[in-house]
Structure 1
Amino acid sequence: MTDHEGTAGPARPGRPARRRRRHVRRHLTELGFGVLALAAIVPLARDALLPQRGSADTGRAKTVISRDMLQNADTGNVCRRGRVALTFDDGPDVYTPQILEVLRAYNVRATFFIMGVKAAARPDLIRAVVAGGHLAENHSWDHPHMADLDAAAVHRQLADTTAAIMRAGAPRPTLFRPPFGNTDGLVDGQARALGLRVVRWSVDTNDWRGRRPADIAATVLGQAVPGSVVLLHDGVANSAATIKALPAIITGLRARGFCTALDTE
């Protein structure tokens, strides 16, 4: 996987104040973009509006997979051109079991970046991830902007998530993906101190935005190169569309000579 390393650097006077100012500036910027975006989409039809990013556990999972989806699953996985890693964020959640079933049918191993609060609530799903041969890694406790936090809060986010994943029966995580990709030297330093390598992604499917399965798959197949790390989600409201996209993603990558593999293989 590609990684993003940084150095925390020595503590400097005034750092908390600077972080608070950066926090305020970022939220003002986001507010400005939000106003512009609202102005742009108001004239659009209701069904064209993008849904709010939210947890999949706000409702019951729809049954997405079918016999037709899985019975002719391609299990061949030859690395003629190189490896592409599939990764899933924000789980485990109500759609995670169906994602695991698709991955099992197609003989894919993936990396799941786990939220600590969800690991504590559903340890059975952590065990299912590990039983499928997948990696259960750290994605913070409750998905904050990590660079807005002080050192103690960053440490809690990381350490408590690692502890919850291990209590569920998974090996100690060695990777940390910062929510929103939001990190800085302090966050990277705290991660390293806990034995975590900070990793991001190279192909962003934006699957959480309410995109259609065909568009999610097309993004992956249009951008994948040897060594790509694909960002998907098993823990958001639109994860049903991600499940529907998976067969096309997997078979399309393999048809292009890519194997779906962990970076540790």
Structure 2
Amino acid sequence: MSSRRVLAELGLGVGLLALTAGLTIDVLSPPGKADTEKARTVVTTAMLQAARTDNRCTRGRVALTFDDGPDIYTPQVLKVLRAYGVRATFFVMGQKAAVRPALIRAEVAGGHLVENHSWSHPHMADLDQAQIDWQLTATQRAITAAGAPAPTLFRPPFGNTNTTVDGEAKLTGMRVIRWSIDTADWRGREPGDIAASVLDQVVPGAVVLMHDGVRQSAATVQALPTVIRGLRARGFCTALATD
């Protein structure tokens, strides 16, 4: 057995013990995680005062999606979405949902979708079937325990999947979904560059990947009003990933 597989199985076992004990532990987390830091306040009064909620679909729908939360910047993302009357889709990590169940409930209360993004953000295709099943089902339990409906969508971390992952997702009641526009916001890009990456590539039916759960998510919050206004100025309405 490879050392990588041994470490993965050890991590999953420790994570399961933590879940059953009502605790959480950082296992195989993605780089750039934000959960040990303090959020900067980047939502301003001026940002919210400029918000409009009109959402005409003259050119088509665009889904705004957020990965790797719930985390320290999720409340500010939710504040901007509420001001602009936007519903979005949050692909959440199970270990973070277990720590911040109130944010899961806030996402649901805002009319957003809460979907599955694995327990600890591993490369899913590197895992065996039992490990894949654990990543999916443990996350489902954490999300429903927090008060959200059982997810019907699974976004594999890094977009890394195979037929086994796809099959296990289907058995768990989910279909696999990726994205069509990657803002690469986790790389530390400036807000203007994040917004431009969306507005320069947008087409009807686009699914936009952003992050509310990494340390660079402050820039995503700052970019979000420009993204929303720019989409609507171009005739696109914002919609849930399943609309």
The TM-score bracket by the shorter chain reads 0.7 to 0.9
* Residue 66 of structure 2, aligned match among 62, 70, 88: 88
2:114 matches 1:136: yes
Q: Which residue of 1 aligns with 2:135?
A: 157
Which digits, 9 at most, give the CA deviation of each residue in 1:214-251, with x for residues without a partner?
00000000001000000000000100000000000000
SS in 2 for 1:113: strand
Gap runs ≥5 in structure 2: 6-29
**Bigger CA radius of gyration:** 1
- What's 1:174 paired with? 152
2:53 matched residue in structure 1: 75
Alpha-carbon deviation of 1:58? 2.2
Q: Which residue of 1 aligns with 2:209?
A: 231
CA displacement 1:112-165 (0-9 Å, x = unmatched)? 000000000110010000000000000000000000000000000000000100
State the alpha-carbon separation in 2 of the partners of residues 262 and 147 from structure 1. Answer: 27
Q: Percent of aligned positions with the same letter in both sequences?
A: 69
2:237 is matched with 259
Of 160, 182, 185, the residue aligned with 1:207 is 185
How far is the alpha carbon of 1:262 from its aligned partner? 1.2
Question: Which residue type is aligned with residue 105 of structure 2?
Answer: R
Q: 2-side partners of 1:104 and 1:118: how far apart? A: 22
Deviations 1:179-235 (A, max 9, x none): 000000000000000011000000000000000000000000000100000000000
Amino acid at match of 1:117: Q
AA partner of residue 201 (structure 2):
Q
Where in structure 1 do 4 or more consecutive aligned residues deviate above 3 Å? none
Paired amino acid for 1:102: V
Measure how far apart 1:53 and its partner are.
3.5
What SS does the aligned partner of 2:51 have? coil
Task: Tell me the alpha carbon deviations over residues 42-66 of structure 1, each in whole angstroms, 9 at most, x when there is no partner.
Answer: xxxxxxxxxx931111210000101
Which of residues 243, 251, 260 in structure 1 aligns to 2:221? 243
Deviation at 1:254, TM superposition (A): 0.2
- Alpha carbons of structure 1 residues 96 and 75: separation in structure 2 relative to 1, 3 Å: same
Q: Distance in 1 between matches of 2:241 and 2:102?
A: 25
1:10 alignment partner in structure 2 = none
Q: Secondary structure at the match of 2:65?
A: strand
Residue of structure 1 aligned with 2:82, choices 101, 104, 116: 104
Work out whether residues 53 and 209 of structure 1, in 8 Å CA contact, stay in contact via their aligned partners in 2: no
Q: Is the 8 A contact 2:88 2:241 kept in 1?
A: no
Q: TM-score, normalised by structure 2?
A: 0.87
Name the CA distance, whole Å, in 2 between partners of 1:243 and 1:263.
19
- Supply the distance in 2 between the matched residues of 1:157 and 1:53 (Cα, whole angstroms): 18
Query: Amino acid of the residue matched to residue 145 of structure 1?
Result: H
Please say if residues 83 and 227 of structure 1, whose CA atoms lie closer than 8 Å, have aligned partners that are also in contact: yes
User: 1: CA distance between counterparts of 2:101 and 2:241?
Assistant: 25
Does the residue aligned with 1:250 lie in a helix, a strand or coil? helix
